[in-house]
Amino acid sequence: MTRITIDPITRLEGHGRIDIILNDEGQVENAWFQIPELRGFEQFCLGRMAEEMPVITNRICGVCPEAHHLAATKALDGVFGVEPTPAAKKLRELLYMAFFVTDHTTHFYALGGPDFIVGPDAPPSERNILGVARKVGLEVATEVIACRKRNHEIIALLGGRSIHPVAGVPGGWSRAINQEERDLIREVAWKNIEFARFSLALFHKIVLKDPVYLDLVTSDLYLHRTYSMGTVDASGRANFYDGTIRVVDPEGNEFAKYHPSRYHEEIAERVEPWTYLKYPYLKKVGWKGLTDGMQSGIYSATPLTRLNVSEGMATPLARAEYQQMYETFGCKKITEARYQPIHHRMATHWARLIELLYAAERMQELALDPEITSPDTRAIPDPSRFVGEGVGSVEAPRGTLTHHYQTDERGVLTRVNLIVGTTNNYAPISMSIKRAAQKLITSDTPEESILNRVEMAFRLYDPCFSCATHFLPGKMPLTVTVRDPEGTVLRQMRRRG
Amino acid sequence: MSGTVIIGMGNPLLSDDGVGIAVARAVASRLTGSAGTSAERSGGELTVTELPTGGIRLMEAMAGFRRAVVVDAMLTGSPPGTLHRFDPKGFVTTKNTYSSHDTDFATAFDLGLLAGVSLPEKLSFWGIEAREFDRFGSQFTEEVAAAVPEAVERIVAEIAGWEGAP
């Protein structure tokens, strides 16, 4: 067997390594994605008071502390047996929409977009947000920075602190807002909608109207027919803060719909000897290895799959864009509002922009809601209703995020389990790497193309390996090592991150 | 433009990874006599910020300040506790100054300039060699804990020098 290894240059900065295993015919047999685990997270939490979790878990990852803060706060609602007030739920969701806007905006302009806007084969020194600004106009840089700034201010206002929010408490939210603050948020939401529309227009103009890029989006390089997962509201439409988990099969038939607290009945985790990170899969379908299709329990939880499970979008502008995306891919309608799923992973970039528009519109809806300025932001837990166990789930930008806590009768943590967004996508990411390798390994592909096509497989998922291993984000440089069957290095390609 | 910002990078719950934050707080407390996040003093306002991730976020954290000091854990192979100093020209990516979700600090800094963000005239990076950075815990290893006082001294001296300069 020939082994090709892609690993970070240093132990410090990557914490991820890819092994692509070839068979004797030189074809790709498997792709293993190895991630060393950080130690002691559960031990660090056990024995602490459950109420500490929203401020501990929001430090697991510096990229989406807001998602962990909300999942933890919702898990505490369960532990203390308390239903938050309607105003509290709306304030939590409002903060979350501001976060989604900054996160999706940053991904598109800094990480995912450069492949399309600057070009998939442009030198890496140009394939970044500066390259995007040079190509489409310098004012884009100003717009991205302004978008982040105004939403970070709203997050700090609602969350009580910038970066690591503190306002989530069991049964509610510790920070009410007044009329003046609501007006400010409404104004920010309006600017967000305008900016999301501008971003989608840019995507249409530069990507969809260009046959080469359209081909890249619709190509089968990263096509995997997996099950799709996402959270939906009572009408079956995508919601990022709360709802029911829905899973559809590769044809689009509803396969499962369950309350997040029942995740252990639906999801099992496959342990493989080469990695600490477990592969989650649908228990009732079963693990068939790193393969897709109806018989394989592998599912994905991404912006694209959230749209795949959704009965259209809950807001008007996002709904129209949703329809256009599915129609561009030639998907047929299978319900009043929902289409056959899209399995072309590159479409995740488009789906992310549709979610950006939805988050901006939803932010405006919430800001206009008369209840948003209600001072009634907390239901005080009743000790007689104490449960001692809770599951909190939100849609993190990178996939469904679940926190599950158990405590003793004093509220001291006895068990902590997290399934983070990227973990859900561990198997699909491995398959996308395998697919990229299959297409590229056999030919005399230039070094730069191999590195970039493998990176593009990562980027579309925007994975947080750091978070998946309970770790902080690090650098993701690549080293690709090609070895012969005896393990001798034949070729080595490196890119510093 | 405000005075000086001292940015402590890392995760305070991840053993030595939190050393940058501890040093930043200690520097602020030495210079202002207060452990708060922002204080007025004779040399101008001093702000201390805890930052978990780099890239664009790091550039934004220093926006609007005249002077910025960044302190982070790093791993270069030197003995744990070794103190390194870099200026932006000789910039070396420390443990948390890159974000895998957007970009490296150098690109983020250029982005800020392009977007007309007002960025510091004086800027330095300090790295403290870590030993334990992949185990949850709020204690530093011995060598790293021992390195804190010298790091604080040198950074305090640097800020005093900057602020004293005409």
Matching residue, tokens 């005896």: A486
Q: Distance from first CA to last CA of chain B, Å, rounded?
A: 16
Interface contact A39-B136, CB threshold 8 A: yes
Interface test with chain A among B16, B75, B95, B102, by most A beta carbons within 10 Å: B102
pLDDT of residue A9: 27
Distance from CA of A62 to the nearest CA of B (A): 5
Looking at per-residue confidence, does A144 or A464 come out higher?
A: A144
CB A242 within 8 A of CB A89: yes
Instruction: Say yes or no for a CB contact (<8 Å) between A63 and B117.
Output: no
Residue type at A486? E
Q: Where are the alpha helices (DSSP H) in A58-210?
A: 65-79, 86-106, 113-117, 129-136, 139-159, 179-203
In chain A, which among 321-350 make CB contacts under 8 A with chain B? Answer: none
Distance separating alpha carbons of residues A409 and A389, to the nearest angstrom: 10
CB contact under 8 A, A163 and B110: no
Backbone angles phi, psi at A22, to 5 degrees: -100, 150
Least confident of A106-120, A223-237, B58-72: A106-120
The token pair at A297 is 């329990």
- B102 contacts in chain A (CB < 8 Å): 106-107, 110-111, 129
Mean pLDDT of B63-92: 87
More confident residue, A37 or A272: A272
Closest residue to A473, CB basis, from B50, B99, B112 = B99
Å between B166 CA and nearest CA of chain A: 32
DSSP A388: S
Integer CA distances (angstroms), A21 to A5, A18, A27, A479, B13, in order: 8, 10, 8, 15, 37
Residue B69 per-residue DSSP state: E
Contact A474 B95 (CB under 8 A): yes
Q: Residues of B with CB below 8 A from A474's CB?
A: 95-96, 98, 100
- The nearest alpha carbon in chain A to B76 belongs to A12
Q: Is B78 left (phi over 0), alpha (psi -120 to 50) or beta?
A: beta
Give the pLDDT mean for B58-85: 92
Closest partner residue to B93 among A38, A462, A475, by Cβ? A475
Kindly report which listed range (A270-279, A319-328, B114-123) carries the lowest average pLDDT score. Answer: A270-279
Residue A61 touches partner B, C-beta closer than 8 Å: yes
Cβ <8 Å between B13 and A59? yes
Q: Across the interface, do A129 and B103 touch by the CB < 8 Å criterion?
A: yes
- A476 pLDDT band, cuts 50/70/90, is very low
Interface of B with A in 123-142 (CB under 8 A): 133-137
Contact A160, A167 (CB under 8 A): yes
What does the pLDDT read at residue A14? 37
A47, A369 Cβ separation under 8 angstroms: no
pLDDT digits over A437-468, tens only?
A: 777 766 555 666 666 777 777 778 877 655 44
CA-wise closest residue to B109 among B126, B90, B88: B88
Name the percent of chain A lying above pLDDT 70.
83
pLDDT exceeds cutoff 60 at A3: no
Interface contact A123, partner B, CB < 8 A: no
Chain A residues within 8 A of B51 when measuring between CB atoms: 62, 163
Provide the 8-state DSSP code for B125: E
pLDDT for A396 beyond 70? yes
Question: How far apart are the C-alpha atoms of A241 and B6, rounded to whole Å?
Answer: 35
pLDDT at A187: 98
The helix (H) or strand (E) run that includes residue B13 is: none
Q: Which tokens in the block code for residue A495?
A: 């890119």
Q: Does A57 touch chain B (CB under 8 A)?
A: no
Q: How far apart are CA A318 and CA A326, in angstroms?
A: 13
| pLDDT of res. A472 | 32
Kindly report, residue by residue over A151-177, the tens digit of the pLDDT. 999 999 999 988 889 999 999 999 999
Question: Residue B94: which residues within 8 A CB-CB, separation 6 or more?
Answer: B9, B70, B72, B73, B74, B125, B127
Residue A433 corresponds to which tokens in the numbers above? 């790497």
CB contact under 8 A, A163 and B51: yes
Judged by CB atoms closer than 8 Å, whether chains meet at A472 and B111 is answered as no
A386 versus A121: the higher-pLDDT residue is A386
Most A CBs within 10 A among B136, B138, B139, hence the mutation to make, goes to B136
Between B87 and B66, name the one with better pLDDT: B66
pTM: 0.90
pLDDT at residue A111 greater than cutoff 70: yes
What pLDDT does A483 receive?
Answer: 52
Greater pLDDT, A137 or A394: A394
Describe the strand order of the beta sheet including B38-39 as a list of residue ranges: B38-39, B46-51, B2-9, B65-74, B122-129, B83-86
pLDDT for A191: 98
